[in-house]
Structure 1
C-alpha cells in the first residue's frame, strides 16, 4: 500500500532535516516547477514533492473521473502521501488550487499538518459580489469551452495572464508547455474542478496556522482574495510579495523561500531550521 501510493504520485524527496516540508504544485503543472525552491529549503529541511494523479510522472492509469470528482478527493491523496511517508505533522506548501487542496486535507486530518503555506491561493475564482474572485462565470465558461476546442490556444492565452513577467518570455513558454503536457481529458476535468470550485464555506473550519503569500499583480488571485482569506482563516498571516504574477516560485524563488523561512523562523524560535 505504501509503495503503491508513493509510486502513483511519483513522490520524491531531498534533504535530511527533522522538519518536513511538502510542496504541492498547482493546476497544469507538476513537481518540476519547484526546482528552484526545493533545493534551497532542503538545505535544512526534508522536502517532499509529488505529482497530482494525471500530470507529470504520476500514474495516469490511476485516474478515474468518479475518483477525482472534487478537490477533497485530491486532499485525500495528500493525506495518503503523508501517512505513507509517516512524516507528519508537516509544513504543507500549496500553490494556487493546492492551497485549497491542502486546506481541505488539514481540516480532515489536522494532526498531519503543523503549518499551511498558501502560495497565491484562491478559494473561489468566480466573482460573487461583494467577493471578487477574479473572473466572471461567463469568462470561466468561455475558457473551458476554448479548452474543448483548442488546448494549445487556451494555453497560449492563459500562460501570459498567469505568469506576468513579460520581460522573461521563457517563463511564459514553460508554463504554456506545461499546461499542454498532460492528458487533455484529465486536464480538462481538473480545470473544471479548479475554476468552478468554491471552498469558502470551509475556511472557518481550518485550525492549522497558515501563511498566505499573495503575489503582486496577480490576475488569477487578485489582492482582494488575500485580504478575504486573511479575514476568514483563524491563525493566518498575510504577506504581500513583490514578485508579480501567479507563479512566484518560478519567477522569484528567492523571495518565495525567504518568506517561507521567515514565517517558520518566527514560529520555531529557538529551534534549528
Structure 2
C-alpha cells in the first residue's frame, strides 16, 4: 500500500524544502493546525497520522510490527521515499521526537534539522525515588500504574490524564480537546502505543545522531520535565535548547505563536 494512503499524508506549502510534522501519542495531525500554516510560505509541509491514529489505515496495524518505535520511524522513511524528500526538516512532538531521531540515524541524508518538541528519550527514572542517576519523571511503579489504568478503562484514563498532560488548568478547553483526541484513537492501538512510548529507552541511540536538533522544553511539563531537556541537550552533539514560557506538554496547542517563533528563529 502507498505510504501516503497508509498514513493519511497531506501535503501543502509553496517551498522546495520539506517540513514533516509528526504528532504525539493519542493525537493526530490536527494537533499541528495552529503551527503548520505558518511554514507553508517557505516550506513544502507534510502532515501525517501514525498508524492507529487519525485517518491512517487501521488495517495496516500489526501489533507485532508496531511493538517498538522502529516501525514508526520506518513509516516516516517510507513517506520520505514516496515523496522523494531529501534534507527535510522533521518536527516531532513528544514520542515522535524519538521517532524522528531513529529515522535520522537510519537515513541521515533525508534530514537537515530535527525539531524536538517536549521530547524524552526515557520516561522512567534510574532509581525509584529519582534521587540518583537519570531522572525521566516517573518511577517504574508510576508507569506500571499508568498502563494498568489505561488497560482497565481507556475512557476514564483519557479523562483523568488529558488535563494533566496538557497543563494550563485555567484553559480547560485544551484538556478537553486532548481528551477527545485520545478517545478518537483506536483503543487497541492506543494501549500498545502507550507501552511502546512509556517503556522505550532511547538513551543509547542519542550518541548515534548526527543531524542538528532543536529541543523545545516547555515549563511545568508533567511528562517531560526540564531535567530531561537538559539531559538531551548534553547528549545530542550540536543541539540547541530553548526553554519556553509555555506550560504543559503540548505547546503546539497551548502556545502556538511561541512554538512557531522558536522554530523560525532556529531555522534562520
Pairwise same-fold verdict (TM > 0.5): yes
Q: CA-to-partner distance for each residue in 1:223-256, whole Å, 9 max, x for gaps?
A: 0000000000011000000100000000111110
Pick the aligned partner of 2:233 from 227, 230, 234: 230
Unaligned runs of 5+ in 2: 127-131
Pick the aligned partner of 2:202 from 192, 199, 211: 199
Offset, 1:88: 1.5
**For residue 143 of structure 1, what is the aligned residue in structure 2?**
146
Residues of 2 paired with 1:65 and 1:88: CA distance? 30
Residues of 1 paired with 2:86 and 2:28: CA distance? 22
Residues of 1 paired with 2:238 and 2:259: CA distance? 20
Residues of 2 paired with 1:37 and 1:209: CA distance? 21
Residues of 1 paired with 2:158 and 2:41: CA distance? 34
Pick the aligned partner of 1:62 from 51, 60, 63: 60
Offset, 1:43: 2.4
SS in structure 2 opposite 1:180?
helix
Residues of 2 paired with 1:69 and 1:166: CA distance? 34
Residues of 1 paired with 2:26 and 2:179: CA distance? 9
After TM superposition, what 4+ stretches of structure 1 lie above 4 angstroms from structure 2?
none
**For residue 9 of structure 1, what is the aligned residue in structure 2?**
7
Residues of 2 paired with 1:238 and 1:83: CA distance? 30
Q: CA-to-partner distance for each residue in 1:31-70, whole Å, 9 max, x for gaps?
A: 0000010111112211100000011000000000111111
Residues of 1 paired with 2:263 and 2:65: CA distance? 33
Within 5 Å, give how 1:52-201 maps onto structure 2: 52-128=50-126, 129-201=132-204
Residue correspondences, number: 263
Residues of 2 paired with 1:194 and 1:81: CA distance? 21
Residues of 2 paired with 1:41 and 1:137: CA distance? 39
Offset, 1:132: 0.8
Residues of 2 paired with 1:172 and 1:25: CA distance? 16
**For residue 269 of structure 1, what is the aligned residue in structure 2?**
none
**For residue 46 of structure 2, what is the aligned residue in structure 1?**
48
Could you tell me the TM-score, scaled by structure 1's length?
0.95
Could you tell me the TM-score, scaled by structure 2's length?
0.97
Q: CA-to-partner distance for each residue in 1:102-156, whole Å, 9 max, x for gaps?
A: 0001000001010001000000001113111011111111111111111111111
Residues of 2 paired with 1:138 and 1:151: CA distance? 19
1:247 aligns with 2:250: yes
